[in-house]
Amino acid sequence: MSKNPVRSQRFLKACRREATDCTPIWIMRQAGRYLPEYRKLREKHAMLELAKTPELATRVTLLPVERFELDAAILFSDIMVPLWGMGVPFRIEENVGPVIDDPLRTEAQIRSLKSFDAQRDVPFVLEAIRQIRDELGGRIPLIGFAGAPFTLASYLIEGKSPRRLRWTKALMFDRPDLWDELMRRLTDTVIAYLKAQVAAGAQALQLFDSWVGNLSPAQYARFAQPHSHRIFQALKGAGVPLIHFGTETSTLLEAMAEAGGDVVGADWRIPLDEAWRRIGPDRGIQGNLDPAVLFAGSEVVCREAAAVLDLAGGRPGHVFNLGHGILPDTPVDNVARLVDIVHQASLRPAS
């Protein structure tokens, strides 16, 4: 991968809603189970071992950008990682995700959470960022990330993938004071974690709010938005683009845009032009191809990618992505085809 000055700035310029030579593309979970090289590594190393070993995290982060002409790399890690520093042990179960054996459901548990210090608690993440930046050599930018407070709280309270949010919503409604305290602590942690990533060399940041789509607009406004807003306010001066992403958030897009971020992600459940209208013209948009499309034939992949680009209308500020993370067993050839078609179909004449 040789350095191309135009390509090296394509993603960052799109995040700033500046004109680009073509639409940039990166893929959520691009360093993951669909890659045969990653599966080989997983035969020897557990997922969290990869994330906690800077040399391995660097290797995994680089796998997809060495194979495809992607316009950004994203740090290989997990949104749960900073919770170690707060004194919360967890594990990753195959086909389940993060599991916390002792969920936080009492006042004593929540008040026993430790203060987070990135240098002390996650030095391996910061070292991985430094190594990745060195390996990339400025060819494409590196995205850092964190889970949003609401999503982290959901895992902490439910104990695993929080599909129904039974315990989470019970705490929200029964003890809003205790909920606010938990969210304050998590927000402080996320701010410190993301600032440390930028200091280590991350050139953009994405806040993942994977489970916030389970909230109504009123619930989001009361229980989640103020905390995400505080994160974006705290990072305004960081000098890097900020991306705000959630799934099943068609009813929340306006409020998410108000919470903050230079770019707001849209999943595949809403047409991209409608999502952009609701986000507003003063922000970029990221998305939003259905990940399942990549299991179809090449003609379908090309057609559906072109449809997303058509809805973007060539306006500056579109970052092409899937509407959620790439699925395991996705055909690698279709990923290469998607990257190529996005670049080719969106190519703009040189001025």
| Options 17, 71, 121, 155, the catalytic residue | 155
Name the catalytic one among 78, 188, 209, 262: 78
282 annotated active-site: no
The catalytic residue among 7, 17, 29, 59 is 29
- The verdict on whether 175 is a catalytic residue reads no
CA gap 43, 21 in Å, rounded: 40
Contact assessment for residue 326 and residue 33, using Cβ atoms and an 8 Å cutoff: no
Q: What does the longest C-alpha to C-alpha distance in the chain come to?
A: 62
How distant, in Å, are the alpha carbons of 30, 45, 77, 135 from that of 50? 15, 6, 8, 17
Take residue 55 and report the two structure tokens written for it.
């040399």
33 is catalytic: yes
For 16, which DSSP code? Answer: T
CA separation for the pair 73, 96 (Å, rounded)? 25
Question: Which one of the listed residues 16, 33, 105, 269 is annotated catalytic?
Answer: 33
- Asked if 321 and 23 count as a contact pair (C-beta separation under 8 A), the reply is no
42 is catalytic: yes
Distance CA 33, CA 55 (A): 19
Nearest to 109 by CA among 172, 165, 181: 181
Which are the catalytic amino acids?
29, 33, 42, 78, 155
